[in-house]
Amino acid sequence: MKFTATTLLALAATVLALPATEVQEKRQDDHAHADICTDANHGGFCINFGLRALGISHCWDFKNGGGIDLTAFNDHLSSIFPHEQGAVWTLYENFGCSGRSLGGIVAPGIDNLQSFGFNDIASSISVVFQ
Ligand SMILES: [Ca+2]
């Protein structure tokens, strides 16, 4: 097979471009997921909640907004079950990731937030990959 100079340059450009594309896709798809529930042990009302893993800079309030209504969880969250290994979740007492917090929540999660003095308290949430 015979390559022209143009073909070789095009191949080289393609190879060089791949890593940058992969990094960009990874960032865009950098979501973590967790089942969040209104009662202990996966009880009550649960949803599979996905959140961009950007830490406190992408704080999410348990209210109606951003295309999802999480008001049912505000001051009613009782158990949380992260899906991805390496994702570390934090719950906060108030909106805007403020007030008391309960961090270091990792898979398989917490069956009863009462054990950590955080039952029916959380009003916002964040997550990072570590
Ligand atoms: Ca609260």
**Ligand 1 mean position, distance from CA 18 (Å):** 45
Q: How far apart are the first and last CA of the chain?
A: 47
Residue 89 forms beta bridges with which residues? 105, 127
In the chain, what percentage of residues exceed pLDDT 70?
A: 78
| pTM score, whole prediction | 0.78
Q: Is the pLDDT of residue 88 over 70?
A: yes
Q: Is the pLDDT of residue 113 over 70?
A: yes
Q: Which residue type sits at 91?
A: L
Q: Is the pLDDT of residue 81 over 60?
A: yes
List CB-based neighbours of ion ligand 1 within 5 Å.
75, 93, 123
Which structure tokens are listed for 107?
Answer: 């898979």
- 3-class SS of residue 68: strand
The DSSP call for residue 30 is -
What is the pLDDT at residue 27?
A: 47
Domain boundaries, the chain: 31-129
1-39 pLDDT tens trace: 454 554 444 444 444 444 544 544 444 459 999 999 999
Mean pLDDT of 90-108: 98
Query: 123, exposed or middle or buried, with CB in 10 Å at 0-12, 13-18, 19+?
Result: buried
CATH of domain 31-129: 2.60.20.10
